[in-house]
Amino acid sequence: MGKDMFALDGKVAIVTGGSRGFGKAIAIALAEAGANVVVASRTQADLNCVAQEIETRGGKALAVAADMLDRASIEKLASRTIEAFGKVDILVNNAGQGWNVPFLKLTEAQWDQILNVNLKGYFLCTQIVGQHMFKAKSGRVINMSSAMGNYPLPYLVAYAAAKGGINAMTKCLAQEWATRGITVNAIAPSYFATDINKNAMEDKAINQLIMSKTPVNRWGQVEELVGLVVYLASDASGFMTGAVLPLDGGWSAG
């Protein structure tokens, strides 16, 4: 076994929520490992910037605006991927949303929005893109979950419920598709230094709470996440399926 086990040359990957944060970093990392990458989110202009960065680095990329709660939009994403690259080998479900809201003030509309974006979106995208993997008898599904799915903080009821649902969906689907050559795994990060967490990083009380739960006593860096994604996308992880892998600086160790 050598570096070739982690190479993704000739593979085709779709990354949802690919215009910023984790999604952008993951898309670039997969491209640098050799994959042709399709980045998807709702904002075409932001996606174009990511695709251009990948191509500037020598990779191949396609930017497709898509709404992960719209079946027709996801079907178009899958079709454009097949038209451009002939197949799809890797799906990274990454699009997500969450708010800190006290439970008694959580509205039904907020609950529906968070569950839909974080869970229903993963269901729709995996079902539609997964059809192509199922026919090919080969594929990698990688779900971005969260430490909140098993070790939640207060005021995150809807978000934690959605991430817990992702964990259960991952384990169930891994068993269902195990004999089709498709692996289904999830990554459960805690708090990482991304733009979406900038306000929390700058809030002394919130930062202190997060550090009290994090034995390594610092925020994660996106560079520490992308290697695990590449591993799960590669041949090196062929015997791993149904795993929810913590990437949390020790959050889950306590």
CATH number at residue 129: 3.40.50.720
Residue 233 domain-assigned (yes or no): yes
Residue 251 domain-assigned (yes or no): no
Residue 179 domain-assigned (yes or no): yes
Q: What is the pLDDT of residues 145-197, one digit of tens each?
A: 999 999 999 999 999 999 999 999 999 999 999 999 999 999 999 999 988 88
Nearest to 146 by CA among 70, 106, 197: 197
Residue 88 domain-assigned (yes or no): yes
Report the pLDDT averaged over residues 54-78: 97
pLDDT surpassing 70 at residue 2: no
As a whole number, the mean pLDDT across the chain is 95
What is the percent of the chain with per-residue pLDDT over 70, rounded to a whole number?
99
Q: What is the pTM of this model?
A: 0.96
- Tokens linked to 46: 């932001």
Number of domains in the chain: 1
Residue 217 domain-assigned (yes or no): yes
Quote the pLDDT of residue 99: 84
Given 122, 151, 155, 159, the catalytic residue: 159
Residue with the bigger pLDDT between 59 and 1: it is 59
- Tokens linked to 201: 């990083």
Residues 6+ away with beta carbon under 8 Å from 135: none
> What Rg, from alpha-carbon coordinates, does the chain have?
17
Longest pairwise C-alpha distance within the chain:
54
Q: How many CB atoms lie within 10 A of CB 107?
A: 10
- Tokens linked to 51: 């695709």
Residues of the domain holding 154: 3-246
Residue 254 domain-assigned (yes or no): no
What is the percent of the chain with per-residue pLDDT over 90, rounded to a whole number?
91
Q: Tell me whether residue 151 is one of the annotated catalytic residues.
A: no
Residue 253 domain-assigned (yes or no): no
Quote the pLDDT of residue 3: 63
